[in-house]
Protein backbone atom coordinates (compact mmCIF):
# COMPACT_ATOMS: atom_id res chain seq x y z
CA UNK A 1 0.00 0.00 0.00
CA UNK A 2 1.24 3.46 -0.91
CA UNK A 3 2.29 5.61 2.03
CA UNK A 4 -0.25 8.34 2.70
CA UNK A 5 0.64 12.01 2.23
CA UNK A 6 0.08 13.60 5.64
CA UNK A 7 -0.14 17.37 5.93
CA UNK A 8 0.58 18.90 9.35
CA UNK A 9 -0.09 22.42 10.62
CA UNK A 10 -0.91 24.12 13.92
CA UNK A 11 -1.67 27.49 15.47
CA UNK A 12 1.01 27.76 18.15
CA UNK A 13 3.65 28.15 15.46
CA UNK A 14 6.47 26.02 14.11
CA UNK A 15 8.61 26.26 17.25
CA UNK A 16 6.10 24.75 19.67
CA UNK A 17 6.61 21.42 21.41
CA UNK A 18 3.12 20.34 20.33
CA UNK A 19 3.78 20.34 16.58
CA UNK A 20 7.19 18.72 17.13
CA UNK A 21 5.49 15.92 19.06
CA UNK A 22 2.87 15.50 16.32
CA UNK A 23 5.49 15.35 13.55
CA UNK A 24 7.62 12.78 15.39
CA UNK A 25 4.58 10.64 16.25
CA UNK A 26 3.18 10.67 12.73
CA UNK A 27 6.40 10.17 10.74
CA UNK A 28 6.16 6.35 10.67
CA UNK A 29 2.67 6.51 9.13
CA UNK A 30 3.48 8.16 5.81
CA UNK A 31 5.16 11.00 3.97
CA UNK A 32 4.81 14.10 6.15
CA UNK A 33 4.74 17.69 4.87
CA UNK A 34 4.55 20.56 7.37
CA UNK A 35 3.40 24.14 6.79
CA UNK A 36 2.95 26.03 10.02
CA UNK A 37 2.73 29.67 11.10
CA UNK A 38 6.08 31.37 11.76
CA UNK A 39 4.65 32.87 14.97
CA UNK A 40 1.84 32.06 17.43
CA UNK A 41 -1.62 32.35 15.85
CA UNK A 42 -3.79 31.24 18.74
CA UNK A 43 -7.33 32.59 18.75
CA UNK A 44 -7.27 33.32 15.02
CA UNK A 45 -10.30 31.13 14.37
CA UNK A 46 -11.06 30.75 10.68
CA UNK A 47 -9.29 34.00 9.74
CA UNK A 48 -7.69 34.28 6.30
CA UNK A 49 -5.32 36.92 4.98
CA UNK A 50 -7.04 38.86 2.22
CA UNK A 51 -5.81 42.43 2.70
CA UNK A 52 -2.13 41.54 2.84
CA UNK A 53 0.34 39.22 1.14
CA UNK A 54 1.60 35.87 2.38
CA UNK A 55 5.13 34.57 2.44
CA UNK A 56 6.34 31.01 2.78
CA UNK A 57 9.88 29.87 3.67
CA UNK A 58 11.59 26.47 3.73
CA UNK A 59 12.70 25.31 7.16
CA UNK A 60 15.02 22.52 8.30
CA UNK A 61 13.64 22.39 11.81
CA UNK A 62 12.45 18.77 11.55
CA UNK A 63 14.84 16.00 10.43
CA UNK A 64 13.82 14.34 7.15
CA UNK A 65 10.50 16.18 6.96
CA UNK A 66 9.66 18.70 4.23
CA UNK A 67 8.79 21.79 6.26
CA UNK A 68 7.71 25.36 5.52
CA UNK A 69 6.78 28.34 7.61
CA UNK A 70 4.07 30.78 6.55
CA UNK A 71 3.44 34.36 7.64
CA UNK A 72 -0.33 33.81 7.77
CA UNK A 73 -2.98 32.10 9.83
CA UNK A 74 -3.53 28.34 10.22
CA UNK A 75 -6.23 28.42 7.52
CA UNK A 76 -3.82 30.31 5.23
CA UNK A 77 -1.33 27.47 5.82
CA UNK A 78 -3.90 24.90 4.71
CA UNK A 79 -4.81 26.84 1.57
CA UNK A 80 -1.16 27.52 0.66
CA UNK A 81 -0.26 23.90 1.29
CA UNK A 82 -2.96 22.47 -0.93
CA UNK A 83 -3.15 25.01 -3.74
CA UNK A 84 0.41 26.30 -4.02
CA UNK A 85 2.87 23.89 -2.46
CA UNK A 86 1.53 20.35 -2.91
CA UNK A 87 -0.79 21.16 -5.81
CA UNK A 88 -2.86 18.21 -4.64
CA UNK A 89 -4.99 17.26 -1.68
CA UNK A 90 -3.14 15.29 0.99
CA UNK A 91 -4.57 11.99 2.23
CA UNK A 92 -4.75 13.27 5.76
CA UNK A 93 -4.58 16.67 7.47
CA UNK A 94 -3.50 16.90 11.11
CA UNK A 95 -3.45 20.08 13.16
CA UNK A 96 -1.81 20.56 16.56
CA UNK A 97 -0.99 19.33 19.06
CA UNK A 98 -2.40 22.50 20.57
CA UNK A 99 -1.09 23.77 23.88
CA UNK A 100 -4.45 24.19 25.64
CA UNK A 101 -7.88 22.56 25.33
CA UNK A 102 -10.22 23.24 22.41
CA UNK A 103 -13.33 21.82 23.95
CA UNK A 104 -16.94 23.00 23.67
CA UNK A 105 -17.45 26.40 22.01
CA UNK A 106 -13.68 27.09 22.02
CA UNK A 107 -13.66 25.38 18.62
CA UNK A 108 -14.89 28.60 16.99
CA UNK A 109 -11.93 30.64 18.27
CA UNK A 110 -9.35 27.95 17.68
CA UNK A 111 -6.86 28.25 14.84
CA UNK A 112 -5.97 24.59 15.40
CA UNK A 113 -9.53 23.45 14.82
CA UNK A 114 -10.20 25.95 12.03
CA UNK A 115 -7.33 24.39 10.06
CA UNK A 116 -9.01 21.00 10.47
CA UNK A 117 -12.39 22.46 9.47
CA UNK A 118 -10.79 23.96 6.36
CA UNK A 119 -9.40 20.51 5.54
CA UNK A 120 -12.88 19.01 5.90
CA UNK A 121 -14.25 21.66 3.52
CA UNK A 122 -11.69 20.41 0.99
CA UNK A 123 -12.91 16.83 1.51
CA UNK A 124 -9.69 15.79 3.28
CA UNK A 125 -9.89 13.54 6.36
CA UNK A 126 -8.82 16.07 8.99
CA UNK A 127 -8.17 15.96 12.72
CA UNK A 128 -7.27 18.63 15.25
CA UNK A 129 -5.44 17.55 18.41
CA UNK A 130 -5.27 19.57 21.62
CA UNK A 131 -3.83 18.94 25.06
CA UNK A 132 -5.57 20.51 28.06
CA UNK A 133 -2.32 22.12 29.22
CA UNK A 134 -1.18 25.58 28.15
CA UNK A 135 2.38 25.07 29.37
CA UNK A 136 4.95 25.42 26.59
CA UNK A 137 6.82 22.46 28.16
CA UNK A 138 3.67 20.36 28.68
CA UNK A 139 3.93 16.57 28.89
CA UNK A 140 2.68 15.18 25.56
CA UNK A 141 3.11 11.48 26.41
CA UNK A 142 -0.62 10.73 26.69
CA UNK A 143 -1.21 12.90 23.61
CA UNK A 144 1.17 10.71 21.58
CA UNK A 145 -0.91 7.68 22.49
CA UNK A 146 -4.11 9.53 21.54
CA UNK A 147 -2.64 10.49 18.15
CA UNK A 148 -1.56 6.91 17.46
CA UNK A 149 -4.94 5.48 18.48
CA UNK A 150 -6.74 8.02 16.29
CA UNK A 151 -4.53 7.36 13.28
CA UNK A 152 -5.03 3.60 13.60
CA UNK A 153 -8.79 4.19 13.30
CA UNK A 154 -8.74 6.91 10.65
CA UNK A 155 -6.54 4.91 8.29
CA UNK A 156 -9.03 2.02 8.43
CA UNK A 157 -12.34 3.91 8.24
CA UNK A 158 -13.70 6.56 5.88
CA UNK A 159 -14.33 9.90 7.59
CA UNK A 160 -18.06 10.76 7.76
CA UNK A 161 -19.04 13.27 5.07
CA UNK A 162 -18.65 16.98 5.85
CA UNK A 163 -16.97 16.35 9.19
CA UNK A 164 -13.55 16.63 10.85
CA UNK A 165 -12.53 15.35 14.27
CA UNK A 166 -11.72 17.39 17.36
CA UNK A 167 -9.54 15.34 19.72
CA UNK A 168 -8.80 16.77 23.17
CA UNK A 169 -6.44 15.02 25.56
CA UNK A 170 -6.64 15.47 29.35
CA UNK A 171 -3.71 16.76 31.39
CA UNK A 172 -2.91 13.41 32.88
CA UNK A 173 -0.02 10.99 33.34
CA UNK A 174 0.27 8.61 30.41
CA UNK A 175 -0.25 5.62 32.74
CA UNK A 176 -3.66 6.98 33.77
CA UNK A 177 -4.87 7.73 30.25
CA UNK A 178 -7.99 5.68 29.54
CA UNK A 179 -8.29 5.95 25.75
CA UNK A 180 -10.64 7.75 23.35
CA UNK A 181 -14.35 8.45 23.65
CA UNK A 182 -16.77 9.84 21.03
CA UNK A 183 -18.55 12.88 22.51
CA UNK A 184 -20.60 15.95 21.76
CA UNK A 185 -19.28 19.43 22.54
CA UNK A 186 -20.43 20.60 25.97
CA UNK A 187 -22.70 23.64 26.04
CA UNK A 188 -20.17 25.72 27.94
CA UNK A 189 -19.07 29.33 27.53
CA UNK A 190 -16.36 31.82 28.22
CA UNK A 191 -17.38 34.38 30.83
CA UNK A 192 -15.35 37.22 29.38
CA UNK A 193 -13.80 40.01 31.31
CA UNK A 194 -11.39 42.77 30.34
CA UNK A 195 -8.38 43.76 32.37
CA UNK A 196 -8.25 47.55 31.91
CA UNK A 197 -4.82 49.13 32.33
CA UNK A 198 -3.15 52.43 31.59
CA UNK A 199 -0.14 52.94 29.38
CA UNK A 200 2.76 55.27 30.20
CA UNK A 201 0.74 58.24 28.83
CA UNK A 202 -2.32 57.52 30.95
CA UNK A 203 -4.33 56.08 28.05
CA UNK A 204 -6.44 52.97 28.66
CA UNK A 205 -5.91 49.62 27.02
CA UNK A 206 -7.55 46.24 27.51
CA UNK A 207 -6.51 42.60 27.83
CA UNK A 208 -9.16 40.01 27.07
CA UNK A 209 -9.43 37.55 29.93
CA UNK A 210 -12.18 35.51 31.56
CA UNK A 211 -13.14 32.11 32.81
CA UNK A 212 -14.56 29.05 31.19
CA UNK A 213 -17.92 28.20 32.67
CA UNK A 214 -19.64 24.84 32.23
CA UNK A 215 -23.12 24.11 33.50
CA UNK A 216 -23.67 21.27 31.05
CA UNK A 217 -23.52 18.15 33.22
CA UNK A 218 -24.13 15.74 30.35
CA UNK A 219 -22.06 12.56 30.57
CA UNK A 220 -21.81 12.48 26.78
CA UNK A 221 -19.79 15.72 26.58
CA UNK A 222 -16.13 16.33 25.80
CA UNK A 223 -15.59 18.03 29.15
CA UNK A 224 -17.04 15.06 31.04
CA UNK A 225 -14.80 12.61 29.14
CA UNK A 226 -11.68 14.67 29.90
CA UNK A 227 -12.59 14.71 33.58
CA UNK A 228 -12.78 10.90 33.51
CA UNK A 229 -9.30 10.49 31.99
CA UNK A 230 -10.43 9.94 28.39
CA UNK A 231 -9.49 11.91 25.30
CA UNK A 232 -12.66 13.28 23.70
CA UNK A 233 -13.41 12.80 19.99
CA UNK A 234 -16.05 15.25 18.72
CA UNK A 235 -17.17 15.22 15.08
CA UNK A 236 -17.23 18.85 13.93
CA UNK A 237 -19.19 20.07 10.90
CA UNK A 238 -18.74 23.15 8.74
CA UNK A 239 -22.34 23.51 7.53
CA UNK A 240 -23.62 26.01 10.07
CA UNK A 241 -27.23 25.99 8.86
CA UNK A 242 -29.53 25.40 11.83
CA UNK A 243 -31.96 23.18 9.92
CA UNK A 244 -34.08 22.65 13.03
CA UNK A 245 -34.84 26.39 13.17
CA UNK A 246 -36.07 26.79 9.59
CA UNK A 247 -39.67 25.78 10.27
CA UNK A 248 -39.90 28.21 13.19
CA UNK A 249 -38.52 31.05 11.07
CA UNK A 250 -40.91 30.22 8.26
CA UNK A 251 -43.78 30.62 10.72
CA UNK A 252 -42.77 34.28 11.14
CA UNK A 253 -44.33 34.97 7.74
CA UNK A 254 -41.50 36.70 5.93
Residues 104-163 that bind a copy of itself (CB under 8 A): 105, 107-109, 114, 117, 121, 149, 153, 156-157, 160, 162-163
Please identify which residue in 86, 141, 181, 229 interacts with a copy of itself, judged by CB under 8 A: 181
Q: Which of residues 24-63 bind a copy of itself (CB under 8 A)?
A: 40, 42-51, 53-56
Q: Which of residues 191-210 bind a copy of itself (CB under 8 A)?
A: 192-194, 196-197, 203-208, 210
For the bound state, the minimum distance from the C-beta of residue 173 to a copy of itself, rounded and expressed in Å, comes to 20
Neighbour tally for 66: CB within 10 Å: 15
Side-chain-side CA neighbours of 27 within 13 Å: the count stands at 12
Please identify which residue in 76, 138, 172, 224 interacts with a copy of itself, judged by CB under 8 A: 76
For the bound state, the minimum distance from the C-beta of residue 160 to a copy of itself, rounded and expressed in Å, comes to 4
DSSP designation for 184: B
CA dist., res. 11 & res. 43, Å (int): 8
CA dist., res. 246 & res. 251, Å (int): 9
**210: phi > 0 → left, psi -120 to 50 → alpha, else beta; which?**
left
For the bound state, the minimum distance from the C-beta of residue 90 to a copy of itself, rounded and expressed in Å, comes to 15
Of the two residues 56 and 169, which places its CB atom closer to a copy of itself in the complex? 56
Of the two residues 1 and 242, which places its CB atom closer to a copy of itself in the complex? 242
CA dist., res. 160 & res. 114, Å (int): 18
188 contributes a contact to a copy of itself by CB under 8 A:
no
Task: Show Cβ contacts of residue 27 under 8 Å, excluding neighbours closer than 6 positions.
Answer: 64, 65
Of the two residues 3 and 187, which places its CB atom closer to a copy of itself in the complex? 187
CA dist., res. 72 & res. 52, Å (int): 9
Tell which residue, 155, 120, 113, has the closest CA to residue 10. 113
For the bound state, the minimum distance from the C-beta of residue 22 to a copy of itself, rounded and expressed in Å, comes to 19
Of the two residues 79 and 144, which places its CB atom closer to a copy of itself in the complex? 79
For the bound state, the minimum distance from the C-beta of residue 212 to a copy of itself, rounded and expressed in Å, comes to 13
CA dist., res. 186 & res. 215, Å (int): 9
Q: Which of residues 219-248 bind a copy of itself (CB under 8 A)?
A: 233-246, 248
Of the two residues 23 and 234, which places its CB atom closer to a copy of itself in the complex? 234
Q: Is 97 in contact with 59 (CB distance < 8 Å)?
A: no
Amino acid sequence: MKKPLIFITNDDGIFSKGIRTLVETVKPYGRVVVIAPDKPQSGMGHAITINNVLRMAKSDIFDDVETYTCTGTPVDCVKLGIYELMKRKPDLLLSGINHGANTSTSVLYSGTMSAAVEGAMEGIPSIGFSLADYDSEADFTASKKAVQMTLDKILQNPMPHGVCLNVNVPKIASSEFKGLKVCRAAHAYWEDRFDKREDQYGNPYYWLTGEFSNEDKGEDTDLFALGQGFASVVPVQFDLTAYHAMAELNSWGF
